[in-house]
Amino acid sequence: MLMILLGVLAAVIGGGGLIERHTPLDRPNDQYEMPQTLLGGGSYVQSFKSEPFSELKYRHIVRQAFDFSCGSAALVTILNYHLGVMVNEQQAMEGMLEKGEKEKIIERRGFSLLDMKRYVGSLGMSGAGFRAEIKDLMALNEPAIVPIDYAGFKHFVVLRGIRDGVVFLADPSAGNMVFSVEEFARWWDKNTLFIISPAAGQQPVAKMALTDHELGVTDMDRVTNKGRLDGPMSNSAQQLLRAVNSGAAGTWMHRN
């Protein structure tokens, strides 16, 4: 019996040298630390910031309140997050009803680009519709509202830009999305786009501009394949990459 007790005691003492207890520290809800010792690496601690995928999905997008209000939500998305004009969807809908063709709006249960043009004009800005080709969209340096026709369903989305053959869209009903140029070209309705220009002296806030850290709007295969460094990676780096890319609990992680 004595030998058994000594064995248990030795195991406890020995285990204490392998497992390090970390005292929890007060931190913002969206931040935490990942000790590298837990991933088989060195003794340093890497800080991470996490954000729910649901928030990343709709970052800088006004979600449409009704099934027929994609046009007003797309319009307000550009007004709020590109031009810095803070109006809500209800105000935009009321404004377009007032300035637009009310009977036709009610009949088709939706807003047209002409309704948008008249409304932004009442705010001191100018809006214009254009016919364009994909090559014209690639040269855009500002977001634009584009109509799409998917399986017979008419819908307005915001085109944020095109990069490396990938079209970045802000969809009022589905959030930030990406498609290949070929896919988008099939759905783009009548090659039409609508651009809103700021009022004289107004500087856009440009929160919808594409950045070099576009995570949360592309699939993990795309991020992983293009995000790896050339050359062999250490075992600890591979384990860290695997842990980050696992998307545990539906979150993405961003380094501070």
> What residues are annotated to the active site?
70
> Residue 153, SS3?
strand
- Give the phi and the psi of residue 148 in degrees, each rounded to 5: -125, 155
- Give the phi and the psi of residue 152 in degrees, each rounded to 5: 85, 5
Tokens of 91: 């105000």
Q: How far apart are CA 185 and CA 44, in angstroms?
A: 48
Q: How far apart are CA 227 and CA 224, in angstroms?
A: 5
Give the CA count within 13 Å in the CB-facing half-sphere of 90. Answer: 0
DSSP conformation class of 249:
G
Tokens of 159: 């085109």
Q: Given strand 45-52, what is the order of strands in its sheet?
A: 31-35, 45-52, 251-255
Other Cβ atoms closer than 10 A to 44:
8
| CA nearest to 124, candidates 76, 69, 195, 196 | 196
In sign, the C-alpha dihedral spanning 28, 174, 68, 84 is positive
